[in-house]
Amino acid sequence: MHWLALQWLPDAGDAASARAPVTDGVPSHDTLAWWALGFTPHVVWLDEALLLEVSACERLWGGRRVLIQRVLQSDPAQAGVECARAATSLVALARLRCQPMCGTWVLDAMKEKTRQPARPMRPADLPVHTLTAARPHLKVLARLGCRTWGDVAALPGAGLARRFGPELGRALGVAFGYAPDAHAWITPPDRFEQSLELPERADSAPALLWSARRLLTALQHWLAARQRGVLALELAWTFDQRRLDGKALPPEDGITLRTAEGVQGMAHIQRLLAERLARTTLLAPARAIRLRVLETASWNPITASFLPEDQPRGDPLHVFVERVSARLSAGHVRTPILRADHRPESRQSWQPAERVLSQGWGRDKPQRVSITSEAVSPSPQPPDRVRGRLSPQRGEGATPLHTGLPDALSPTWLLREPQPLTVDAGQPCHQGQRLRLIAGPHRLETGWWSAALPDVADGAAAARDYFIAQSPAAELLWVYRERPTTSSSSSPSPSPSPHVPSPGGGRLAHEEPARERWFLQGLYA
């Protein structure tokens, strides 16, 4: 057994960070304990000190010296921390309490480890006041002439128990190693929820970020201790006022962040949070913030490799997509959905890439744990009886569905709204110049059910003849001529302005009974 006793000095923290406010000094007890769980599973708070039992994990960290050095250097408080060590917890604590006298390491504000010159005190030489169990009886013990633990241990055991109660003798037994050193080890809770009182009222959302960072640090330690990665979290803030401008305010407001793959590093979460907060307005000045984890996944760190070409260069895909979606809004980062349809405009549609990411996107799905019952996972659309047949196909396996026209003959640009073309002497014109029809027609007649099923059909009926046309500007265009159909006498068009301004329309009217309308729908470019 080997114990480290750590103590953070609030005054040392203040002195070290003169520019930072006091609240940034020492993190909460929970945060410190979760941080220590990153080194050893045996962590316990004993009075004012955090005790780590490290005998089982010394080899993992490369020896006792290295471990102590790591512990001191990764100190989350970034302030003065005192450390003492011993074979039992009580001796370590006692050595910490009389640290100016015995051998301890002190990490000063300059991050330099200085070793106190004196040798560690023997347990029997430790002063009585450093034993917690002896503190109520200090005066009596002093009158008995007991100044050290050895003096007390030399008293007859039965009389000691009769005079001072059983605790003192039991504590001495534990301290000298005669009795088991049992503790209720700290375990991280199943749910992460921490609140923080803001040092001053925050009037704008970005001002919350600085305080939220503190909670994110705690979250990082919690995740590391539980071997999880965060998928969704909620940052909420409570308002200072109940009413503002005569309107009642809700007790709190907040934002929810989601990421596609569990992360432990807080850099990505912090960037997402900054982007979201930058676009959020506070209803009223905020007084406190609360961070809650909604969903976590098991954490799979990247397999380390010594080969330089195996090192990933750059961010993973989900980090990129989420970061860009947060800045440009999710609708501006799109991935396609293919549908089985003959109409080009219905064959493909686009959806936010973030949504695809959260549904897996061709990767192994990690096992997810939803921590709160109200955490809503983005669910796909409910299966519809009719739409089931027209359901979008997505993912790696989605191949373009065969729809008659060979895909290789389709244009590379699609005009979402087909552009009406003017007609001159029966020939379509683009930008005032006549088009030369090169190949075609490719006839299409579909969507006839849209009149009967207006709620399921996602497009109008289409009866078209497609041509490849060449413009005088040497462009290859994909145009179509609308045909009057038997099913719909007034042929509907996807264009918002179906009336074509055609100069020669009146002349055409007597040539053809139903006036032809031409549209440009694609570019071979």
Partner 1 sequence: MRALSSLLSSIGASVWPADELLCVTDWVVATGHAPLDAELPGGGWPLGALVELLQPTPTAAMWPLLLPALAERVREPMSGAAQRSAAKSARVVVINPPHEPYLPALAAGGVPASRLLWLAADAPPAQLWATEQALRCQDVTAVVAWLPRVQMGELRRLQQAAAQTGALLFVLRPESSAAQVASPARVRLRVAAEVPAPHRPRLQLVGEGDGPHALSEAAHGLPALRVDLLKRRGPPLQRPLWLPVCSTAVWAVVQAARASARASETPTPEVRHALARIAVAA
Residues forming the site for partner 1 (CB under 8 A): 302-303, 305, 307, 309-317, 319-321, 323-324, 327-328, 332-336, 338, 344, 347-348, 350, 353, 361-363, 394-396, 398-400, 406-416, 427, 437-442, 467-468, 470, 473-476, 522-525
Query: In this complex, which beta carbon is closest to partner 1, that of residue 46 or of residue 415?
Result: 415
CB 34: neighbour CB atoms within 10 A? 28
Q: Which is nearer to partner 1, 413 or 449 (CB)?
A: 413
Q: How far is the CB of 321 from partner 1 (least distance, A)?
A: 7
Rounded CA-CA distance 302/180 in Å is 40
Of 158 and 473, which CB lies nearer to partner 1 in the complex structure? Answer: 473
- Number of Cβ within 10 Å of residue 8's Cβ equals 21
Contact 289, 215 (CB under 8 A): yes
SS3 of 222, please? helix
Q: How far is CA 92 from the centre of its chain?
A: 39
Distance of CA 438 to the CA centre of its chain: 54
State the nearest-atom distance from the C-beta of 417 to partner 1, in Å.
10
Comparing CB distances to partner 1, the nearer of 68 and 353 is 353
Between 1 and 476, whose beta carbon lies closer to partner 1? 476
The residue among 110 and 408 lying less far from partner 1, judged by its C-beta, is 408
- Whether residue 274 contacts residue 172, with contact meaning beta carbons closer than 8 Å, is answered with no
Residue 241 is encoded by which pair of tokens? 């006022």
Question: Is the CB of residue 194 less than 8 Å from the CB of residue 28?
Answer: yes
The distance of closest approach from Cβ of residue 397 to partner 1 in the complex, given in angstroms and rounded to an integer, is: 8
Q: In the bound complex, what is the minimum distance in angstroms from residue 10's beta carbon to partner 1?
A: 41
Report the residue count for the chain. 525
The nearer residue to partner 1, 112 or 309, going by C-beta atoms, is 309
Tell me the C-alpha distance between 193 and 315, whole Å.
Answer: 29
- Quote the least distance from Cβ 94 to partner 1, whole Å: 51
Q: Could you tell me the smallest distance in angstroms from the CB atom of residue 332 to partner 1?
A: 4
Which of these, 229, 218, 236, lies nearest to 276 by C-alpha position? 236
Least separation in angstroms between residue 326's CB and partner 1 is 11
The tokens for 130 are 């450093």
| Alpha helices per DSSP H over 85-206 | 89-97, 138-144, 149-154, 157-164, 166-176
**Segment holding 33, helix H or strand E:** helix 29-37
